[in-house]
Chain A
Amino acid sequence: MDSPATYLHWGFILISTPNLLVIGGMLVLFAIALVAPFPHGGKDEDGHG
């Protein structure tokens, strides 16, 4: 935990592995939020859930 993070380097892109994991996790979570079914209550006539 106290050792410096490892860094990934491609051309002009330089990012630490923990930061890359956090950003990747956020993208995955965002994608899941778009497709995962949301529990719905009963819908009434005017389109309210």
Chain B
Amino acid sequence: MDTARPGLVEPKPEPPSWTLRVRQQIERRLPMDHLLPDRQPYYVGSWVYVFGVVTIAALGWVVVSGVVLAFMGPQWWHDSSLGRFVNSIHFWSVQAFFIFMVLHLWGQYFMAGWRQGRASTWLIGVVIFGVSILTAFTGYLSQQNFDGQYIAINAKDAMNAAGAGAFFNVLNFGQMYGLHVMLLPIGVIFLVAWHIVMVRMRGVVKPIDAEGATR
């Protein structure tokens, strides 16, 4: 016969299915009011916090214009006026992406955005920066013009000297184009999505001089 004893907490039984366990974990760690908040702390009211959002907007334009370019092909993006326009949208969106990513980096550096359990968010951002450089570099190699050839021929010695030439051959157009239009963009988009989810889980870091925020 089992009677309830005061002070003794019965352990909660493990949920019977892994889908339920995953759902409960997500609901606990990332509730919807964190994922899509309608209010933010007062210190978020600064233009510095806008740089990250502009970076995401630029990435959106990069992806959209890149899909069109991949669908239409090099002859279209070199020879037709609309193709050159979309090519320019792709190029200048990348410039905006990098400029605002660096401004976001400066902002997060000076507010020490890695504080209070946000180190992984910062580190994912560092990886995004590196993968983005590789994506932009393979983009320069995918232009299908003399600029692309010039860059590939000059880059090959550096790649070989660094020991990367055996598996990252800048003279192999198929490899560079495949990396540029498929694998690296998937990597950047996945990492950016992960970065945003991390920001939403933890919230925006408090200013250094705010109470309890100096650690």
Complex Cα gap A26–B99 (Å)? 7
Q: Which of B41, B51, B99, B107 is within 8 Å of A48, CB to CB?
A: B41
Residues of A within 8 A of B19 (CB): none
**A47 sits at the interface (CB 8 A):** yes
Query: Interface code A30-45, partner B: CB below 8 Å = 1, 0 otherwise?
Result: 1011101010100110
Is A33's CB under 8 angstroms from B103's CB?
yes
Residue of B with least CB distance to A25:
B99
Residues of B within 8 A of A33 (CB): 46-48, 50-51, 103, 107
Is A30's CB under 8 angstroms from B106's CB?
yes
Given contacts A33-B48, A33-B50, A36-B47, contact A48 B103 (CB under 8 A): no
Is B41's CB under 8 angstroms from A34's CB?
no
Is B102's CB under 8 angstroms from A49's CB?
no
Is B42's CB under 8 angstroms from A49's CB?
yes
**B28 sits at the interface (CB 8 A):** no
Complex Cα gap A49–B39 (Å)? 6
Is A38's CB under 8 angstroms from B46's CB?
yes
Residues of A within 8 A of B41 (CB): 47-49
Residues of B within 8 A of A26 (CB): 99, 102-103
Complex Cα gap A17–B183 (Å)? 34
Interface size class of A (residues with CB under 8 A): 10 to 19
**A8 sits at the interface (CB 8 A):** no
Counted as pairs of residues, one from A and one from B, with CB atoms less than 8 Å apart, the total is 39
**B17 sits at the interface (CB 8 A):** no
Is A38's CB under 8 angstroms from B47's CB?
yes
B92 to chain A, nearest CB (A): 12
**A1 sits at the interface (CB 8 A):** no
Q: Which of A29, A34, A48 is within 8 Å of B39, CB to CB?
A: A48
Residues of A within 8 A of B44 (CB): 49
Which B residues are closer than 8 A to A by beta carbons?
Answer: 39-42, 44-48, 50-51, 99, 102-103, 106-107
10 smallest A-B Cβ distances: which pairs? A33-B47, A48-B39, A38-B45, A49-B42, A33-B48, A47-B42, A49-B45, A40-B45, A38-B46, A36-B47
14 A-B pairs with CB atoms under 8 Å apart are A22-B99, A26-B99, A30-B48, A32-B47, A33-B48, A38-B46, A38-B47, A40-B45, A48-B40, A48-B41, A48-B42, A49-B41, A49-B42, A49-B44
Which A residues are closer than 8 A to B by beta carbons?
Answer: 22, 26, 29-30, 32-34, 36, 38, 40, 43-44, 47-49
